Amino acid sequence: MSGYSVIKDLAMRMILDLFNLPSSLSDSDSAQQQQQLRQAKADDIDFRALTTTGSTASNVMGMAAGRQWLGIHDRKVDYSQEGYDGQVVVVTNMAHATVWKAASILGIGRKQVTEVPEMGMDVKGQEEAFENAVKEQKAAGKSVLVFLSFGEVNTGIFPFNTHRIADICASNNAYLHIDGAFGIYARCSPSYEYLAQGLERAHSITACAHKWLNVPYDCGFFIYRTYLEKTILEPIFSSSAAYLPSTDSGPTHPMNISIENSQRFRSLPVWATLYAYGRNGYQKIVEENCRYAKTLFDWMKNTRSDLYTVLTEECPLNIVVFAQKMTPEMESMSEGPAKTEALGKKNAELLKRINGTGVAYFSPTVWKGRPAIRAAISNWRTTVEADWEPVRAMLEQQATIAQELV
């Protein structure tokens, strides 16, 4: 085995362990180890992982795998050979923009992505909406690919019971892909893993490495059930040419189960950081980032609600979505485009001032139609003790100045 293969296998096993997912041994393990694995586990409940360029590529792979799986298991056609017939739809909720991008890239089409209405923390209502959407598409003769977000991008909320969604998929022969981009890291912590229960029910999973794992940009993970490698991924992604080395008698080459033929050594920084910090280290990072987010949320909600408005009832993970406190004049404006434009302008001005200080960097967003500001805490160096007071003082100063300028 090459050094590349050893590091890659170690890094991917460590990632699966970090996320508490049952791991398959590598093809490079001995025949005895493989036999022990077969005796200990069933192929359909253990996982393998690949590095990708990021969550976008992982979501494209998840959608491609889901479409192929539905072709084989629901429509009895091999899309990788026969071509796509337009009979797959995507059902999702509070999804990242890359879901629509993936649908466009793969020819499924943006209009074939059905977004279940957002219902806040009404878990039962959200699950019923998912079930109704899936059954409606099945009744129309479509095959369904469910894309579930683990941690909504603006708020970090998990408004569903994953086991219930997985049961709905199973009873309707639907494929389940979970976009765990950052929310999957809740599984690192005993305090937060309850949010991400049921991850192991997915057929495939997206995770991002250049967010909470804090490795350089251009790194993500595509995690998949082991049995999909030969039956689904290879038919889609295999590259066969006389000038390419054959791996018929050895481990499956990454180029035959992922998008790129040429791949840099992405698993090296992944292995290095996991070796350095381990599960306990990442547990501390996740928990400290979440503590910081909750400190920010509580301060805005309870201490300085005269300056800021938080736009969610709670802060479940590491994200706070907020806006500048509306003036009485803005409060009295009728709901409509003029008010939205005015709110957007004020929030944009405040955000520019905040980011201009260099003390913190937040991003713009829109939540339930309202222009807002998003604070996502994910850096390994950020702590409440070292970083809260300067940020608090800056936020207080900038919001006070913004109010005086009205």
Say yes or no to pLDDT of 353 above 70: yes
- 327 inside domain: yes
The CATH number assigned to the domain holding 97 equals: 3.40.640.10
**Residues 228, 106: Cα–Cα separation, whole Å:** 19
Say yes or no to pLDDT of 61 above 70: yes
**Residues 10, 271: Cα–Cα separation, whole Å:** 7
Q: What is the pLDDT of residue 19?
A: 96
Q: Quote the longest CA-to-CA distance of the chain.
A: 74
pLDDT in tens, 165-202: 999 999 999 999 999 988 999 999 999 999 999 999 99
Say yes or no to pLDDT of 35 above 60: no
Say yes or no to pLDDT of 91 above 70: yes
Say yes or no to pLDDT of 57 above 70: yes
Strand partners, 115: 92
Last residue of a domain, one of 265, 291, 317: 265
Q: What is the pLDDT of residue 342?
A: 87
Q: What is the pLDDT of residue 327?
A: 84
Contact residues for 75 (Cβ-Cβ < 8 A; gap 6+) = 85, 87, 143
Contact (Cβ atoms closer than 8 angstroms) between residue 218 and residue 231: no
Say yes or no to pLDDT of 246 above 90: no
Give the three-state DSSP class for 97: coil
Say yes or no to pLDDT of 34 above 70: no
Q: What is the pLDDT of residue 248?
A: 58
pLDDT in tens, 247-264: 555 567 888 888 888 888
Residues 235 and 352 in one domain: no
Place of tokens 């941690």: 151
Reading across the β-sheet that carries 88-93, which strands appear in turn?
A: 47-52, 220-225, 204-208, 175-179, 143-149, 88-93, 113-115
Residues 253 and 300 in one domain: no
Average pLDDT, the chain: 89
Residues 228 and 361 in one domain: no
Residue whose C-alpha is closest to residue 392's, from 319, 309, 297, 325 = 297
Residues 258 and 286 in one domain: no
Structure-token pair, residue 161: 């019971």
Say yes or no to pLDDT of 55 above 90: yes
- 273 inside domain: no
If one counts every other C-beta atom within 10 angstroms of the C-beta of residue 140, the result is 9
Amino acid at 240: S
- 340 inside domain: yes
If one counts every other C-beta atom within 10 angstroms of the C-beta of residue 328, the result is 6
Residues 231 and 321 in one domain: no
Share of the chain above pLDDT 70, in %: 90
Residues 255 and 285 in one domain: no
Distances (CA, A) of 50 to 67, 252, 337: 19, 12, 45
- 81 inside domain: yes
Residues 251 and 287 in one domain: no
Structure-token pair, residue 44: 């359909």
Give the three-state DSSP class for 240: coil
Residues 249 and 364 in one domain: no
Residues 135 and 236 in one domain: yes
Last residue of a domain, one of 231, 265, 299: 265
Report the half-sphere exposure of 87 (CA within 13 A, side-chain side): 21
Residues 232 and 368 in one domain: no
- 187 inside domain: yes
- 271 inside domain: no
The count of structural domains within the chain is 2
DSSP strand pairing (175-179 vs 220-225): unpaired
Q: What is the pTM of this model?
A: 0.90
**Residues 258, 325: Cα–Cα separation, whole Å:** 47
- 248 inside domain: yes
Contact (Cβ atoms closer than 8 angstroms) between residue 267 and residue 8: yes
Say yes or no to pLDDT of 217 above 50: yes
Q: What is the pLDDT of residue 386?
A: 96
Residues 9 and 108 in one domain: yes
Range of the domain at 378: 281-404
- 275 inside domain: no
Say yes or no to pLDDT of 134 above 50: yes
If one counts every other C-beta atom within 10 angstroms of the C-beta of residue 2, the result is 8
Contact residues for 346 (Cβ-Cβ < 8 A; gap 6+) = 324, 330, 402, 406
Say yes or no to pLDDT of 58 above 90: yes
Last residue of a domain, one of 207, 230, 265: 265
**Residues 237, 362: Cα–Cα separation, whole Å:** 38
Q: What is the pLDDT of residue 135?
A: 97
pLDDT in tens, 269-316: 999 999 999 999 999 999 999 999 999 999 999 999 999 999 999 999
Residues 293 and 398 in one domain: yes
pLDDT in tens, 139-164: 999 999 999 999 888 899 887 889 99
Residue whose C-alpha is closest to residue 87's, from 97, 96, 76 = 76
Average pLDDT value for residue range 376-388 = 96
Name the band, by pLDDT with cuts 50, 70 and 90, for residue 26.
low
End-to-end CA distance of the chain: 67
Query: Which is more confidently placed, 264 or 44?
Result: 264
User: Which DSSP string do the residues of 126-165 spell out, in sequence order?
Assistant: HHHHHHHHHHHHHHTT-EEEEEEESS-TTT----S-HHHH
pLDDT in tens, 233-245: 999 999 876 556 6
The CATH number assigned to the domain holding 365 equals: 3.90.1150.170
If one counts every other C-beta atom within 10 angstroms of the C-beta of residue 367, the result is 18
Q: Which of 7-16, 301-310, 377-386, 397-406 is predicted with the least confidence, judged by mean pLDDT?
A: 397-406
**Residues 44, 397: Cα–Cα separation, whole Å:** 55
Distances (CA, A) of 118 to 32, 99, 205, 311, 368: 50, 16, 22, 14, 9
